[in-house]
Chains A and B, each alone.
Chain A
Amino acid sequence: MDANMPILASTSPTAVPWLSVIVLLPITGALLLPFLPEGESEKQSQLPRNLAISILLIDLLIMLFVFGRVFNPSEGGLQLVERANWLPFLGLEWSVGADGISAPLVLLSGLITFLSAAASWKVTQKSRLYFALLLVQASAQALVFLSQDFLLFFLAWELELVPVYLLIAIWGGKRRLYAATKFILYTALASLLILISGLALALSGDNFTLNISELANKNYEGSFGILCYLGFLIGFGVKLPIFPLHTWLPDAHGEANAPVSMLLAGVLLKMGGYALLRFNVQLLPEAHQILAPALIVIGIVNVIYGALNAFAQDNVKRRIACSSVSHMGFVLLGIGAIDALGISGAMLQMISHGLIAAAMFFITGSFYERTNTLSIPNMGGLAKILPITFAFFLTSSLASLALPGMSGFISEITVFLGITSQNDFTSIFRAITIVLAAIGLVLTPVYLLSMCRRVFFGPRIPAVSLTEDMNPRELVIGLSLLVPTLAIGFWPRIAIDLYESSTNLLADKLITNSLVVLNQGLTFG
């Protein structure tokens, strides 16, 4: 890197630094919130909420404009790149850019953060802080997906922990402190591995660089590459989460309120998958090819172990949390398939699961406000009183169990096809993988539909006072999550077109790299 590098405002053809705007708008709003008057009257406590929702909506609209009009999805490489020196003594650079892998996830996080703020309608306790944290969270998430500098990425990754920790620890349930601390310790320790691996890559070779594209051009020797790969895998795996690093998730979901659960399931878990693609696959293709079978094994464990855990959970949110573990297993399987189909499936699974899990948590929150319990054995017959809630919950359950016509089906089938058509694996390895992963498809309806049955079906009416069914605001939030799910399920190209050139590029890179012959011995050969 040149010490005299000019401070660039933007290298993109457009004059407006769009991506910086997307990242900085919410956090600027967050800085405004503390100056609002203390919420004593009801009206005043609504002001921060309304402001936050408006800012997030504007941010979402900007994202839609940028990724719909300015961004060119037929180009696989980085676009809209903006680079500026920030802290030269640290080598820290403000460097953001988007490709097909970041674009859909930024959109997803924008949508879900906005909806999560809208779902926080009834939060009145310390509302200024709450919504300020949501806004900081929005910025940090977008920066994770957009930053093209490792150090910047890492700062964003760490920054995003603060709001989540506080959101759980202050607005959570009874054991919120335990859950929040578990979350923070887990992810903070994992971050250490990410930092070490990243710096190791930056320092290796002749030139020091933190820029991700430049890091990708370096060559990392065998065992060094593998060590870094493992460091990243554990670090990112906590977020995904991968077995056995998943135990923070049911606790966090169990204690967080519904809007924060939407963020956790809808966006945070996707950071893990995104980072795996961005660092493990893009930077370390050789190590990835060697370790891909291990990824597949972990993926299968996730799918089945998560599903069985979910089946035994008696709390609605914990059950959905475990189902996330199971579904994110498919992301691992897709990434492990090391071909265009598999990576495409992993991408789609992230988008799809983001929408569906957020929908499920949102609806759960919506009926929790009415029942004040999440314990499955204590509920029953809710459908009679809350028919619309029932319709939404059932629809998202069906989406979650990969029903065709919904996004989950097309993503999971793409992952399956990706593994099937990966000729680098032996047939027997592929067969075992697919059979085991397909067992997950049988287990999903078992735990989801039995939950629907026990909560909504049947004659029992819970001994709780119930007011009314979903109101128009809740309807709009629910539909905003389910309509895209259905749209992608019917016409998957609306999502695939956004990322296809980039995932193809990534897969091509892997194929060129497979000159480093895949060790057949590792693949159960």
Chain B
Amino acid sequence: MPTLAGVFVKRMPSAAEIAWLIPVLPLIGAVITGLGLITFNKTINRLRKPVAVLLVTCLGSAAVISYAVLFEQINGSPPLEHLFVWASAGNFILPMGYVIDPLAALMLALVTTIALLVMIYSHGYMAHDKGYVRFFTYLALFSSSMLGLIVSPNLLEVYVFWELVGMCSYLLVGFWYDREGAAHAAQKAFVVNRVGDFGLLLGILGLFWATGSFDFQNIALGLSEAISSGDVPTWAALTLCLLVFMGPMAKSAQFPLHVWLPDAMEGPTPISALIHAATMVAAGVFLVARLEPIYTQFPSVGLVIAVVGTITCFLGASIALNQMDLKKGLAYSTVSQLGYMMLAMGCGAPVAGIFHLVTHAFFKAMLFLGSGSVIHAMEEVVGHEPVLAQDMRLMGGLKKKMPITANTFLIGCIAISGIPPLAGFWSKDEILGQAFNTFPLLWFIGFLTAGMTAFYMFRLYFLTFEGTFRGENKELQKQLLSSAGKVDDDQEHHNPGELHESPWPMTMPLVTLAIPSIVVGLLGTPWDSKFAALLNPQEAIEMSQSFQWGEFLPLALASVAISSSGIALAVMAYFLNRIKLSEVFANRYPAIDEFLKRKWYLDEINEKIFVQGSRKLAKEVLEVDAKVVDGVVNLTGLLTLGSGEGLKYFETGRAQFYALIVFAGVIGLVALFGVLGTPPI
């Protein structure tokens, strides 16, 4: 029946039309298991396999739709937007909905891929954890929120999902709630992000005040109109743009709001890979890309973003130089790389920024999952105390025992260091190229940072995987524990096991992620950027037309050269052990060494001013409340005492006593009427 088939084909919805399912599917899964956890806790906790299968299926289907959407966009489908009224009052309506455009399609595919791999990995990593089902539920909830954020068509909906991913981050950082460190880290992550959201919300409200809209395009148009007509002064518009930028600053860990991200490593490692490296922390960069039509009107905003990005980039790399905790090292590396992305955004090159976001997501997720694999193995030897299991002073020589982890980690190191043809080279080089043309000084700092990046990454690799294994050194373990202020309790009832390679659910995602880490950069070569062609076809044409080997090669060679010297230094210091670099450095520049070890003293400043300051203020306010404000009442408090004493005489019949009062009240009422004159009934 050809006609029927024709009808059927016609009615087949395009992938973009069912794209709303992408965030909804994982949400359904999370709601089912979440309700189960609350109502039939014990039963659900035993159903690990079915829960994992359900949630992997939900997320897998979302991934399939995401890829279908991406291919449609690559083939040139027009963007699609679908809205409905969510709330209203008077003549105000608040629309919600979803939008599918190339940027959203790209991010959907990226997030679903990594979330799916992390979920599979978690099946291995969390196998022995009592909270396995809870962990999977949170993962699904996070995926749903993150996907919702990506498809948000307006700023207010972005804010909704923005906060929700923050909540998931809070829940997952605090996943092991019996650890004091995790509890503090989770709260810090949430509060610091709320500070950023404070700015974001004010900015959103301000832009709504100025333009009457939440929609990105309409805000951009309305703002330029309002400025040219003089309704909104330029300084106000600038302020609003910068306020909105506070949101991305907190979420994407930009200086000085980056302080929560390293602490967030208290969460399980799969989370560090998914949320705190590949997806959520990139949301800030994504939002800035979405705000591009607004920000392009204000070059000074671009400058601020670029400067913040560069400071972050340098700060992260500098602190990463002498970290001893494997995950913290990677965390500061993430801070630094996010700085690169922001630098690109500030240079007015969102395509380059998003390109780095994508390549970084692959290799940094792989690196974190690799570190998780290492920690998983280390826990067999030194126990579950993170102070021991994550410290590189106890590692070394792991390559022999865990070759897959070591090799994929090495690929990640090469990729992030910017050695061609791996992914990081192309994206980082594009950013540096853009910076060179826009802000040469910032380029120079970014360029230096590239060398530092190569150094600290290979330092991590050598300390962890090369040399000899140091994990059985009990003296060193005790020393580390006491310097962290922890009591040696886990050790007594822990039987040291053997180092071993992780099971397949953990190695498979590593190997899978290694492939894009190697090749995905080739999609963004400056002479034929498939990436730019998808995100901004016009820019792609311009890029390939203006491309000149004479311009590209010197910059690229310089980048490769400084990266290579960074690697060479790391080889000398940590592989061949020719120079005792850290000792020499600490002796010669003790102030700088201390400065870096104390992470630029930012945590101390934060603690002194904000944490203790707010506590003190609150204490004082309570004092005022109790003594001054309540004091007024305590004058009546004399009365209170009196009536309290009086009440004792009515101990047996308090009800009657009160009835008397009411009665007296009514009599008083009647008397009042008498005084005021009989009402004209």
Query: A residues bordering B, Cβ < 8 Å?
Result: 1, 3, 88-91, 129, 158-159, 162, 165-166, 169-170, 177-178, 181-182, 185-186, 188-189, 195, 199, 202-203, 207-208, 243-244, 247-248, 305, 308-313, 339-341, 343-345, 381, 383-384, 387-388, 390-392, 398, 403-405, 409-410, 413-414, 416-418, 420-421, 427, 430-431, 434-435, 438-439, 441-443, 445-447, 449-450, 453, 456-459, 469, 475, 479, 491-493, 496, 500, 503-504, 507
Closest approach, in angstroms, between the C-beta of A2 and any C-beta of chain B?
9
Known: A181-B643, A420-B208, A421-B209. A442 touches B198 (CB 8 A): yes
A3 partner residues in chain B, CB cutoff 8 A: 681
B89 touches A311 (CB 8 A): no
B90 touches A404 (CB 8 A): no
Is the CB of B83 closer than 8 A to any CB of chain A? Answer: no
Is the CB of B180 closer than 8 A to any CB of chain A? Answer: yes
Residue from A340, A388, A439, A479 in contact with B198 in the complex, judged by beta carbons closer than 8 Å: A439
Residue from A88, A186, A410, A416 in contact with B205 in the complex, judged by beta carbons closer than 8 Å: A416
A158 touches B183 (CB 8 A): no
> Of all chain B residues, which has the CB nearest A492?
B87
Measured in the bound complex, the distance between the Cα atoms of B679 and A403 in whole Å is 52
Closest approach, in angstroms, between the C-beta of B445 and any C-beta of chain A?
32
Q: B54-62, B186-194, B366-374: which lies at the A interface?
A: B186-194
B625 partner residues in chain A, CB cutoff 8 A: 247, 305, 309
> Of all chain B residues, which has the CB nearest A414?
B89
A340 partner residues in chain B, CB cutoff 8 A: 89-92
A195 touches B90 (CB 8 A): no
B164 partner residues in chain A, CB cutoff 8 A: 403-405
Is the CB of B184 closer than 8 A to any CB of chain A? Answer: yes
A177 touches B163 (CB 8 A): no
- Could you jot down 30 A-B contacts, CB within 8 Å? A90-B679, A166-B654, A181-B643, A182-B633, A195-B669, A247-B625, A247-B629, A247-B630, A248-B633, A312-B622, A340-B89, A383-B178, A387-B41, A388-B41, A403-B163, A409-B163, A414-B89, A421-B92, A430-B209, A441-B198, A442-B195, A450-B187, A453-B187, A457-B186, A458-B177, A479-B38, A492-B86, A493-B85, A493-B87, A493-B88
Is the CB of B600 closer than 8 A to any CB of chain A? Answer: no
Known: A391-B38, A404-B161, A409-B160. A434 touches B618 (CB 8 A): no
Residue from B156, B632, B654 in contact with A413 in the complex, judged by beta carbons closer than 8 Å: B156
A308 touches B618 (CB 8 A): yes
The 3 closest A-B pairs by CB, nearest first: A340-B90, A457-B183, A312-B622
> Of all chain A residues, which has the CB nearest B207?
A420
Measured in the bound complex, the distance between the Cα atoms of B641 and A185 in whole Å is 12
Residue from B89, B184, B637, B673 in contact with A500 in the complex, judged by beta carbons closer than 8 Å: B89
> Of all chain A residues, which has the CB nearest B243?
A435
A404 touches B163 (CB 8 A): yes
Is the CB of B615 closer than 8 A to any CB of chain A? Answer: yes
> Of all chain A residues, which has the CB nearest B39?
A475
Is the CB of B167 closer than 8 A to any CB of chain A? Answer: yes
B88 touches A496 (CB 8 A): yes
> Of all chain A residues, which has the CB nearest B162?
A404
B87 partner residues in chain A, CB cutoff 8 A: 410, 414, 492-493, 496
B619 partner residues in chain A, CB cutoff 8 A: 312
B177 partner residues in chain A, CB cutoff 8 A: 383-384, 390, 456-458
Closest approach, in angstroms, between the C-beta of A114 and any C-beta of chain B?
21
Measured in the bound complex, the distance between the Cα atoms of B632 and A353 in whole Å is 28
Known: A186-B633, A430-B209. A388 touches B38 (CB 8 A): yes
A457 touches B654 (CB 8 A): no
B647 partner residues in chain A, CB cutoff 8 A: 169, 177, 181
Is the CB of B614 closer than 8 A to any CB of chain A? Answer: yes
